[in-house]
Structure 1
Amino acid sequence: MDFDLTDDQRLLTDSVTRLLGNEYGFEQRKALLKTEMGWSEKLWGQYAELGLLGLPIAEDFGGFGGGPVDIMLLMQAFGRHLVLEPYLATVVLGATAIKLAGSAAQQDEILTGIASGEIKLAFAHSERQARYDMTDVLTTAKPNAGGFILEGAKSVVLHGDCADKLVVSARTAGNRDDARGISLFLVDGNASGVARRGYTLRDGTRAAEISLSGVQVGRDALLGEPDQALGTIIRVTEAGIAATGAEVIGAMETMQAMTLDYLKTRQQFGKPIGENQALQHRAAEMLVAMEQGRSMAMLAAMMVDEPDAEERARNIAMAKVGVGQAGRFVSQNAVQLHGGIGMTEEYAVGHFFRRVMVVEHMFGDTAYHLDKLADQVA
């Protein structure tokens, strides 16, 4: 298997690295966190100009036509700088749902709008009682003369507070935990009956609690076949796991570099603390864990388009576990080796730690995916 980057991928990596190096320093990020939106519309426009918003979108819709490996490279770069913009919510989760289930008209409107930076999406599937169970859906969509009436609530919707459109899952048939009977709908974020309460997650990124009360949507709002959306939801979640896994690798790279620099410069008893052999061993263990995690993130990226659903699910679950374990080890040790300064808001390593911990609990935590893997071999 060829792991060399293409010329286009090298150009992509160089362009993103240069942009974020100039525009996304730690102090600049802290300033963005204090704004009302919590991210930069200016940078969102620059992402559109560079073609980043259309990276996985077909050229027919104004995109770049890239694949999961391109997303992996971009998300790694985002992870190195703790990017706050709603890229994961819009381009990875939302656009994947539209590509998989949208009609030709829906794809033309939404994907073109995403690539140009005019439309932001949020994937509203999780519900408070469900935890990580993708079939646990209480939100309902009942048919009426004009289309459907949506009732229910969605929880921890990434960047749901700023999304122009919501991709909402709702039960159109069956009981609460039935795999069949779930449908997806495209809902205007400001539609009558939609209430959104935005808030900041522990890592500084934004999410929202969304309430749907008598929300009327037309039949053209339905994404894909009625009652058959679970497969799409699973594929969207798998794309999210692969993308956030790559983001964690970028975060680990930065934490590793910061820790090595600190060990070389922090003086104690007249010499750098990095001369302590025990700390050298710890830094080496961090490097090994990071590279193990990198291999698993690459596996996830290669599995996103795997046609065998069982093979894809097994490998992506393994990748989620591997990246989660590596991210926890590297981030905990990075904070510990920095000592007291690692716990302060003024120092970057703690911010990277929090992002990695939040990502570990997205789309099912390490324990959840370990259980899934154990069930497969039981």
Structure 2
Amino acid sequence: MNFDLTPEQQQLADSVSKYLANEYSFEKRKAIVHSDSGVSETVWQTFAEMGLTAMTLSEADDGFGGGAMDLMAVMESMGEALVVEPFLENVALAGRLVSRMGSATQRAALLPGLIDGSARLAFASLEPGRRYALAPQATLAKAGPGGWVLNGHKCMVTGAASAHKLLVSALTPAGVSQFIVDAHAAGVTLNPSRTVDGFRVAEVTLTHVALGSDALLGEDGAAMPFIEEATDFATALLCAEAIGAMKSANDATLEYMKQRKQFGVPIASFQVLQHRMVEMYISTEQARSMAILAASKVDGTTDARERARAVSAAKIKIADAARQVSQESVQLHGGMGMTEELKVSHTFRRLTMIAQQWGDADHHLERYAALT
């Protein structure tokens, strides 16, 4: 299989990389992180103008019909720049669920705003005490007057505070279902916070939230396969983001070692440190291969078990490489590697969170074993 980028993919990747290099410097990122919203409207609109928000949506919904392979290099650039805008949560999760599950009316109501950047979505799936379980247990939806009544609690909902609509998974008598909920509806309470890597998340409490019958996305009780597929798709792209972050850590560490002198010579000349840098590079390239495999599988197979095995295998390797590269990069920088002023410390935090997001190594080892 040829894993080289097509001319179109390369052109898109170059455009995103150039934009982020010029307009998303480390100092600008810090200003965005510490702003009230934690995201940049200007950056988001630029992503929309570049076609990124429409990339994976179907052509029938005015998207480009692309897949994970089309976004791999883009996600690497975002990982290298430590982009904090909730791109994956909007495009790879919520947008994908609407595109694949929604009726023509629902798609027409939600996807144009996502494509042009005027509206944002957030995927509310995880529940307190349930770790990485995708199936809801405590969030319940019951039939009510003219529709549904929703009660429950969701945690770690990335981008919820800036979202217009929430996609909430809930348990109904028929099984797991997906609902479209206005983020500002009566009974919806958001408790926002900032994660260690600078992203904005929120706990979402749902108290007797009244929904119309048109709030149900897809068929009642049939949401779980779509949720699993979208999460695998997003996890494959998260692996690509991790590659970009690891590349940034490797480059910054090598540059520092060339400048830092000890005994009158750059520490990059010390063989033992060269060996450690080589191991960091090898881990990154091995992880890259696994990320490419995962992206190709989420794009190219209809076998859910095969797709899930490839994604879990990639996430296991990514988690291991993220730990090694992030920790080594900080150690080779010395004490200053943990300071707020250096980008490498923020890269360390992002890689640490990526290793946990949508399942840590232990979770995916268990999942892989169960699927083998």
Compute the TM-score of the two structures, normalised by the length of structure 2: 0.97
- The alignment partner of 1:156 has SS state of coil
Aligned partner (choices 357, 360, 365) of residue 355 of structure 2: 360
**Does residue 315 of structure 1 match 2:310?**
yes
Task: Indicate the residue corresponding to 1:276 in structure 2.
Answer: 270
Q: CA deviation at 1:161?
A: 1.1
1:331 aligns with 2:326: yes
Question: In structure 2, the residue corresponding to 1:53 is in which secondary structure?
Answer: helix
Alignment partner for residue 175 of structure 2, among 174, 181, 184? Answer: 181
Residues 1:28 and 2:28 aligned together = yes
SS where residue 304 of structure 1 aligns? helix
The match for 1:101 is 101
For the residue of structure 1 that corresponds to 2:156, the secondary structure is: strand
State the AA in 1 paired with 2:107.
Answer: Q
Residue 86 of structure 1, CA deviation: 1.7
Give the distance between the partners of 2:348 and 2:279, measured in 1 at CA: 17
Which position in structure 2 is the counterpart of 1:198? 192
SS at structure 2 position matched to 1:148: strand
2:140 alignment partner in structure 1: 140
Deviation at 1:374, TM superposition (A): 2.7
Counterpart CA distance in 2 for 1:132 and 1:222 is 24
Say which is worse superposed, 99-108 or 7-16, in terms of deviation: 99-108
Matches within 5 A, 1:207-356: 207-305=201-299, 306-356=301-351
The structural deviation recorded for 1:105 is 1.5
Say whether the 8 Å CA contact 1:62–1:116 is kept in structure 2: no
User: Which residue identity lines up with residue 244 of structure 1 in the other structure?
Assistant: L
Is the aligned partner of 1:120 residue 2:101? no
Q: 1:76 Cα shift?
A: 0.8
User: What are structure 2's unaligned runs of at least 5 residues?
Assistant: none
Identity %: 45
Per-residue displacement from partner, 1:131-176 (whole Å, max 9, x unpaired)? 1122342111100221000001100001111110000001102xxx
Cα distance per residue 1:98-124 (max 9 Å; x no partner): 122111111222122111111101000
CA distance in 2, matches of 1:164, 1:110: 10
The C-alpha deviation readout for 1:23-81, integer Å capped at 9, x for no partner, is: 11111111111110112101111111111111112233332322111122211110010
Contact 2:61 2:99 survives alignment (8 Å): no
1:45 paired with 2:39, answer no
SS in 2 for 1:30: helix
Checking the alignment, whether the CA contact within 8 Å between 1:182 and 1:226 is kept in structure 2 is yes
Compared with structure 1, are the counterparts of its residues 134 and 348 closer, same or farther at alpha carbon in structure 2 (3 Å cutoff)?
same
> 1:63, 1:112 within 8 Å by CA — same for their partners in 2?
no
Per the alignment, residue 10 of structure 1 pairs with 10
* 1:371 aligned partner, one-letter code: E
CA distance in 1, matches of 2:3, 2:175: 41
Q: Which runs of 5+ in 1 are unaligned?
A: 174-179
SS of the aligned residue for 1:369 comes to helix
- Most deviating of 57-66 and 133-142: 57-66
Give the aligned residue type for 1:223. L
Q: Superposition RMSD on alpha carbons, in Å?
A: 1.2
Q: Is the 8 A contact 1:148 1:218 kept in 2?
A: yes
Q: Over residues 302-351 of structure 1, what are the superposed CA-to-partner deviations in whole Å (9 max), with x where a residue is unaligned? A: 11132001111111110110111111111111111111110101101010
Number of aligned residue pairs: 371
Task: Please say which of residues 270-279 and 5-14 is displaced more in the overlay.
Answer: 5-14
CA contact (8 A) 2:249 2:329 kept: yes
Per the TM alignment, residue 7 of structure 1 is displaced from its structure 2 partner at its CA by 1.5
Q: Matches of 1:210 and 1:71 in 2, distance apart?
A: 30
Residues of 2 paired with 1:109 and 1:303: CA distance?
Answer: 31
Give yes or no for contact 1:61–1:115 (8 Å, CA) kept in 2: no
Contact kept, 8 Å, 2:136 with 2:169, in 1: the verdict is no
